[in-house]
Amino acid sequence: MDRIITTEVANHVLFHYGRGGYQAGSFTEQIIKAIDMADPANRDKLALAFPDYVAAITAIQYDPDGVAHLTTIANPGEVAA
């Protein structure tokens, strides 16, 4: 998963879910909203064009450690206290 989720993508998805990060541009926000709302079949279709965003959104929605994982990707230079 780490290989396809960039720092920018992690920050955009964290922001969308109110967990830090920073806001994406308006087009990217609409992509994130579409992935967030998509049923599994449509999410699979969106993954063909936006695999990084689908991976990040899937992580934050379904992985109990998803927020921590994305936060680590979003802030690669920070060391956990």
Pair 69, 57: CB distance under 8 Å: no
Residue 79, in any domain of the structure: no
Q: Domain span at residue 31?
A: 7-74
Which pLDDT score, from 0 to 100, does residue 58 have? Answer: 97
> Left if phi > 0, otherwise alpha if psi is -120 to 50, otherwise beta: which for 19?
alpha
Residues 29-52 have pLDDT tens digits of 999 999 999 999 999 999 999 999
The residue among 57, 61, 58 whose CA lies nearest residue 13 is 57
Residue 11 clears pLDDT 70, i.e. is over it: yes
Please give the tally of structural domains in the chain.
1
Residues in CB range of 34: below 8 A, 6 or more apart: 46
Residue 29, in any domain of the structure: yes
Residue 64 clears pLDDT 90, i.e. is over it: yes
Residue 2, in any domain of the structure: no
Residue 39, in any domain of the structure: yes
Residue 81 clears pLDDT 70, i.e. is over it: no
Q: Which pLDDT band, with edges at 50, 70 and 90, does 1 fall under?
A: very low
The pTM of the full predicted model, rounded to 2 decimals, is: 0.89
Pair 28, 12: CB distance under 8 Å: yes
Residue 50, in any domain of the structure: yes
Residue 20, in any domain of the structure: yes
Residue 58, in any domain of the structure: yes
Residue 81, in any domain of the structure: no
